[in-house]
Structure 1
């Protein structure tokens, strides 16, 4: 090799640096590929993505062939550099070769190509796969030997290099982060809906039900004229029908079926006839997770359920609309217009909040973070904090939220002013 002209050796050295840069960038780009985007591209017929997926199916072999090629090239480059600098500077050439080659490889064969590959993995990995796949076949015996020894050492420390791709599966929290960080790639409304779907597991029927004291239903113990008037003026599509008390519910009435009763007038009305138009009630335990409720509604073709506690007492009702609003947000106006809104802006960051408003509704509307692992309504949260019903208008803190009581009844806090304090 000492007889080879220095110019040719320098050219060969430069070629080896380029090859080393190729292996370095290939390794980084392959490892930096987004596996989910890669899988989508492969299913769409992208040839480069398919080749990359095939190589990544056995990362131990892929890394093996890249490192074998890279180390061979770097070692050969160091030998050639030693010869060249020895020809030029004698015995001191070894020192010069080590110093210069370290800097050259570090800049031109490591840092620069790996940085570019990390920023543009697909542009590097897909073309590189054209070289790596046949190279893997040519070096198969060497790669097998190196991989076998490497995998054996990995097993000694409890790592199975040939295990499945469980690590590629996203946990719900990780998927939530992916959706949240999607940025402009996903419309904000769609992003909110996807996040709400992922959050369904964290809520139960009790969190979204209409409480018993707000349930509107038909009491068969009322006189016929009053019942007919209620049916004619109702803004709801379905009404629970009961006898004196909602715990004695007999069925769910769809007002479309009640049209015939209204047409026939009071003379033809009877409680038994009204009962014949009702559907069998569907009871839902209060602790039922919302995804389970959604599947049960779909399976049983239901749109309303009566929520019961562990003692069988009716706690309220839940409807399909309530469930869908947890996903898409409020998409219907209140069926009964009211002058008293549950959440009203009072200016300067203050909000007037009705005591019966659910904590989840407050958090969703105002983007607050009131605790939801205890009481379900604002009144319940305030009462838990105070441990009693306040005698008058007082103020106190719940975490970093300032609460001023405005109206109190004998049984509950009916209205309060609340402001989030940025501490």
Structure 2
């Protein structure tokens, strides 16, 4: 039998190396596909995604197919390279073929194609599926036999080959995905999505209007005082109580004002008839739960009470929505009323400022797991009521009391460690 010409052997060797590169890039490309993007593309009827998804339904069979093909072409390439080297250099050609073919396969059939596939998995995997899918049907008996043996070995090692389930994303992982989305999701939309995820970690007492700031109607006041209170109010709904805020008897919607006024002035009977029944909620209700309750009960205002039934404050649907979308236009001017930047990089902050608002505005990390206001935080750390101005450091922030009235801190000068280092 005549020996095959070297030119033909060279051609076959090149084809085999290209096939090896194809199998190597296919493996990396298929395994590097984003599973969630793949699901999305399959729903969009993308043909390449549907083919790739079908192959990835059984990754053990896909890997078996690719490795069978890759090993076949590599072994055949090694045999042909050895034949060529022996013809050219005799017995020394075996060593030359081993070293040379190893370098060629590493560069052209492994590293380069796998790097390309890792960088552009869809561009590699989707076209490759055109070949792999029919090849899977053609070589199914061999693939099945190989997988039968390997799966048996895995079971002996205590590994269930069919134990892999569909991947699920935790809230922390989803937060990372949203944060790293970059230009794919506008920054404002990313912020809204992250705020929705944060609703699970925030309760109504974190965002409520505290009882000392609640604007409402006291039925024990005179008619003239009630009318002045109603006229001066800027809220759509006003809580109504008798004698004390702990005795809230209803909520008055301002759209019903015309029904409680007559030619004589204020009609108290009509006022009590037009009031809505108060809606009470526990102080530690998570925001996402309360949002669902508002939606279910068709309500927009709730009275927050502690475990003893004492009124702690009020929370509205608007307050929760602002946690998601940010302050509404009508309230943009209010966001900076409590924080005043100074030339030296510090800030004068009102003592009743909400700690979460301070952290959001200044990108700080003051502790929020205890008191909700800056005054409460300072007094908790001091463990007493100071006789005068005092300074303290909390979580890397320096806080200096500027004004103290009674048992309440009215104004604080605050600065972070970063701003102090910048001034030095």
When normalised by structure 2's length, the TM-score is: 0.95
What's the counterpart of residue 193 of structure 2?
Answer: 194
Moved more, 287-296 or 351-360: 351-360
Query: How many angstroms apart in 1 are the aligned matches of 2:368 and 2:165?
Result: 36
Secondary structure class of the residue paired with 1:256: helix
1:403 aligns with 2:399: yes
Alpha-carbon deviation of 1:349? 1.9
What's the counterpart of residue 205 of structure 1?
Answer: 204
Q: Which of 266, 277, 295 is matched with 1:280 structurally?
A: 277
Q: Give runs of aligned pairs for residues 92-241 of structure 1, distance below 5 A.
A: 92-166=92-166, 168-241=167-240
Query: How many angstroms apart in 2 are the aligned matches of 1:339 and 1:308?
Result: 26
1:23-43 deviations in Å (ceiling 9; x for gaps): 000001111111111111111
Secondary structure class of the residue paired with 2:370: coil
What's the counterpart of residue 381 of structure 1?
Answer: 377
Secondary structure class of the residue paired with 1:357: coil
What's the counterpart of residue 46 of structure 2?
Answer: 46
Alpha-carbon deviation of 1:153? 2.7
Query: How many angstroms apart in 2 are the aligned matches of 1:3 and 1:338?
Result: 91
Secondary structure class of the residue paired with 1:165: coil
Alpha-carbon deviation of 1:394? 2.0
1:420 aligns with 2:416: yes
1:284-313 deviations in Å (ceiling 9; x for gaps): 111111000000000000100000111111
Alpha-carbon deviation of 1:136? 0.6
Query: How many angstroms apart in 2 are the aligned matches of 1:150 and 1:360?
Result: 55
Compared with structure 1, are the counterparts of its residues 177 and 158 closer, same or farther at alpha carbon in structure 2 (3 Å cutoff)?
farther
Alpha-carbon deviation of 1:340? 9.1
Compared with structure 1, are the counterparts of its residues 320 and 2 closer, same or farther at alpha carbon in structure 2 (3 Å cutoff)?
farther
Secondary structure class of the residue paired with 1:159: coil
Q: Which of 358, 365, 371 is matched with 2:361 structurally?
A: 365
Alpha-carbon deviation of 1:46? 1.1
Query: How many angstroms apart in 2 are the aligned matches of 1:220 and 1:342?
Result: 31
What's the counterpart of residue 268 of structure 2?
Answer: 271
Are 1:392 and 1:408, in contact at CA under 8 Å, matched by a contact in 2? yes
Are 2:260 and 2:267, in contact at CA under 8 Å, matched by a contact in 1? no
Query: How many angstroms apart in 2 are the aligned matches of 1:367 and 1:158?
Result: 49
Query: How many angstroms apart in 2 are the aligned matches of 1:390 and 1:67?
Result: 75
Secondary structure class of the residue paired with 1:370: coil
Alpha-carbon deviation of 1:164? 5.0
What's the counterpart of residue 340 of structure 2?
Answer: 344
What's the counterpart of residue 306 of structure 1?
Answer: 303
1:167-214 deviations in Å (ceiling 9; x for gaps): x22111111011111112221111111111111111001101111111
1:70 aligns with 2:48: no
Are 1:58 and 1:162, in contact at CA under 8 Å, matched by a contact in 2? no
Compared with structure 1, are the counterparts of its residues 157 and 358 closer, same or farther at alpha carbon in structure 2 (3 Å cutoff)?
farther
Query: How many angstroms apart in 2 are the aligned matches of 1:2 and 1:387?
Result: 100
Query: How many angstroms apart in 2 are the aligned matches of 1:281 and 1:153?
Result: 67
Moved more, 73-82 or 147-156: 147-156
Are 2:260 and 2:268, in contact at CA under 8 Å, matched by a contact in 1? no
- Unaligned ranges ≥5, structure 1: none
Are 1:2 and 1:87, in contact at CA under 8 Å, matched by a contact in 2? no
Are 2:404 and 2:410, in contact at CA under 8 Å, matched by a contact in 1? yes
Secondary structure class of the residue paired with 1:279: coil
Are 2:259 and 2:270, in contact at CA under 8 Å, matched by a contact in 1? no
Alpha-carbon deviation of 1:332? 4.1
What's the counterpart of residue 317 of structure 1?
Answer: 314
4+ runs of 1 displaced by more than 4 Å?
Answer: 337-340
Are 1:18 and 1:109, in contact at CA under 8 Å, matched by a contact in 2? yes
Moved more, 368-377 or 299-308: 368-377
1:355-380 deviations in Å (ceiling 9; x for gaps): 11111111111111111222211111
Alpha-carbon deviation of 1:119? 1.0
Alpha-carbon deviation of 1:324? 0.7
- Unaligned ranges ≥5, structure 2: none
1:14-70 deviations in Å (ceiling 9; x for gaps): 110000000000001111111111111111121011101111111111111000100
1:67-105 deviations in Å (ceiling 9; x for gaps): 010011111111111111111111111111111110000
Alpha-carbon deviation of 1:408? 0.9
What's the counterpart of residue 329 of structure 1?
Answer: 326
Are 1:389 and 1:413, in contact at CA under 8 Å, matched by a contact in 2? no
When normalised by structure 1's length, the TM-score is: 0.95
Alpha-carbon deviation of 1:341? 1.8
Moved more, 363-372 or 47-56: 363-372
Query: How many angstroms apart in 2 are the aligned matches of 1:330 and 1:353?
Result: 19
Number of matched residues? 419
